[in-house]
Structure 1
Amino acid sequence: MAELNGAPVTPDELKSLALVNYGHFTSMRVDDQQIRGLSHHLQRLVRDCRTVFAADLDEEEVRGYIRQAIEGRGGSFVTRVTIFDPALELGHPGSDARPGVLVTTRPAGTLPMPPIRVQSATYTRDLPEVKHVGLFGALRHRRIAQRNGYDDAVFTDPEGYISEGATWNIGFFDGDRVIWPNSEVLLGVTMRLLQQVHERTALNSVSLKDLPQMEAAFATNTAVGVRPVTAINDVEFPSDHPILGTLRKEYEEIPAEAL
């Protein structure tokens, strides 16, 4: 399923997204027509549209497009809302933009997701505070990690301070508090919700050298919820630490929002 501004999208309209690849998006897990953190996702789209296109996005209009696209579909799945301008040209990206709203869906994995082992890579995404469609660098490092026998990549700065995963946020437990890296990252909706409901939370710098002092590590995004990270390079973590169950329970108890 793919709809642009409420109508079936055509191949010609998708050419700009494929060839120019300029835009931004958010992905949301839908469970029985409800979305946990929906308001945050919609606010992200409005905020990022101003940053990426210098244009205003109608939040209620976007909500209506999502509602229409998934109407009558039960169970759990992931819907992605991509904001891009079908008329944008590679040679003239500075033209006034008229961004459209593309809604697509894909299957959702069964929660909880299995643990992952990740490899670190020195990399910072372009404009890390925006969830944009420029994923080449992130996917390149994910590919390298997988070719090296890992599941995914986690990024650091040149000094070895950890920021985020390829398409997810990372958190740690030091035995007392949940620590979120104090780095340039995308403020993920799942991360923000967990920060709101878990009392013992802190922002702090976490370097590769600090990993042996951490009791647990986990990945978060809307598709995976709270997912154990059982290794970063050669430092291993348990997959069943009690903090993981606590965070999952706190997250699942956050009321979902209806469209």
Structure 2
Amino acid sequence: MAQRFALILDPADAAEERADFSGTFTVVDAGAPALSVSELSTQRGDGVFESIGVIDAHAQEVVPHLERLANSARICDLPAPNLEQWRQAVAVAAAECPAGEWVIKLILSRGVEHGPTPTAWVTAAPASDFSEVRMAGVSVVTLDRGYPLDVAERAPWLLLGAKTLSYAVNMAALREAHRRGADDAIFLSSDGYVLEAPTASLILRFGDRFVTPAPSGGILQGTTQLSVYEYLEGRGFEAGYEQVPASRIAEADAAWLVSSVRLAAPITAVDGRLLSVDHALTTDLNQYLLSPRD
């Protein structure tokens, strides 16, 4: 996906806590070299990121994404990002996005090796076309993540719960799902609980109650999942968080993978076992997620 617009932020300038951040980022040529070969984000994946969906030049769920960026930075011992600086950079990038669906990426890394400050940048590019996936759905397989549910509390150095640039494991999980004839994967803890998908949150429906795995045990809190819950509760449904045993996936009346750019994709099968699809609710969810949301 070719980047069409890019900004380089100046975290050192923002650290001065100026009231006006208009000079703390620079527009750069998205097709030209902009990072040092010593940049740790490319050498070691030592950084964090966010992907913000953009609908007709409106950046979606900006505040939750910025809050999650700050939380990821805290977990990774990165300097706290100045959220007002990032908010203004997102606004500038969104204004450059034409009609349709785009994606803005926020990247904060530890910077150049042995350098004094982190590196931060924002890019904007057309989003992939997920219209068919939102209608037809995805099949998934369950994969053992290799950790028990409580590992995040016992081993914080694993950085579980942070959205880091180290995405090799997530991409390997997707390749394994494809080798098994599925479209996507759902991670399970080694002690048998449902976690999340490599690039999405999981929502299960049991009657009129909707459940997602509790955002603990290394599960990334989903910004789109929060929006879906707000919508469901507005319609009078009950939506909550639980520790979900793996066996309950097959018992669900319906299920979705939800994320900022793909939005709500219904799950059609789990480990080869067919799952019912609520087409009407899926359509309603995606119509809501395509509407402007702050």
TM more than 0.5: yes
Which residue of 231, 234, 239 corresponds with 1:197? Answer: 231
Structure 1 segments unaligned to the other structure (5+ residues): 90-94
Say whether residues 1:244 and 2:282 are aligned partners. yes
* Residue 38 (structure 2) pairs with residue 38 (structure 1): no
What is the TM-score normalised by the length of structure 1? Answer: 0.86
Distance 1:194 1:69 in 2: 25
Alignment equivalent of 1:66, drawn from 77, 90, 107: 90
Distance 1:11 1:87, change over 3 A: closer
1:177 positional shift: 0.7
Deviations 1:166-204 (A, max 9, x none): 010011111121111235310010011222332211212
Contact 1:112–1:227 (Cα < 8 Å) also in 2: no
SS of aligned partner of 2:264: strand
What's the CA shift for 1:154? 0.9
Per-residue CA deviation, residues 59-97 of structure 1 (Å, 9 max, x unaligned), is 1111222233343331221111011132235xxxxx8x6
**Per-residue deviation at 1:48?**
2.3
User: Which residue in 2 is equivalent to 1:98?
Assistant: 117
Alpha-carbon distance change, 14 to 38 in structure 1, aligned in 2, over 3 angstroms: farther
Deviation of residue 118 (structure 1)? Answer: 1.1
CA RMSD of aligned residues (A): 2.4
User: Percent identity, aligned pairs only?
Assistant: 22
Q: Unmatched 5+ residue regions in structure 2?
A: 10-25, 153-157
Q: Deviation string for 1:136-181 (max 9, x for gaps)?
A: 1111111111122111111001132111000100111111211112
Tell me which amino acid in the other structure corresponds to 1:81.
Answer: L
1:92 — aligned with what?
Answer: none
Equivalent in the alignment of 1:158 = 190
Contact 2:39 2:112 in 1 (8 A): no
2:265 is the alignment partner of 1:230: no
Change (3 A) 1:58 1:64: same
Residues 180 and 249 from structure 1, CA distance in 2 versus in 1: closer, same or farther, beyond 3 angstroms?
same
Question: In the alignment, which residue of structure 1 is the partner of 2:140?
Answer: 118
Moved more, 202-211 or 225-234: 202-211
SS at match of 1:163: coil
Check the 8 A contact 2:74/2:80 in 1, yes or no.
yes
Tell me the distance in 2 between the aligned counterparts of 1:85 and 1:228: 37
Contact 1:20 1:88 in 2 (8 A): no
Q: What number of residue pairs does the alignment pair up?
A: 250
Q: Please state whether the residue corresponding to 1:226 is helix, strand or coil.
A: strand
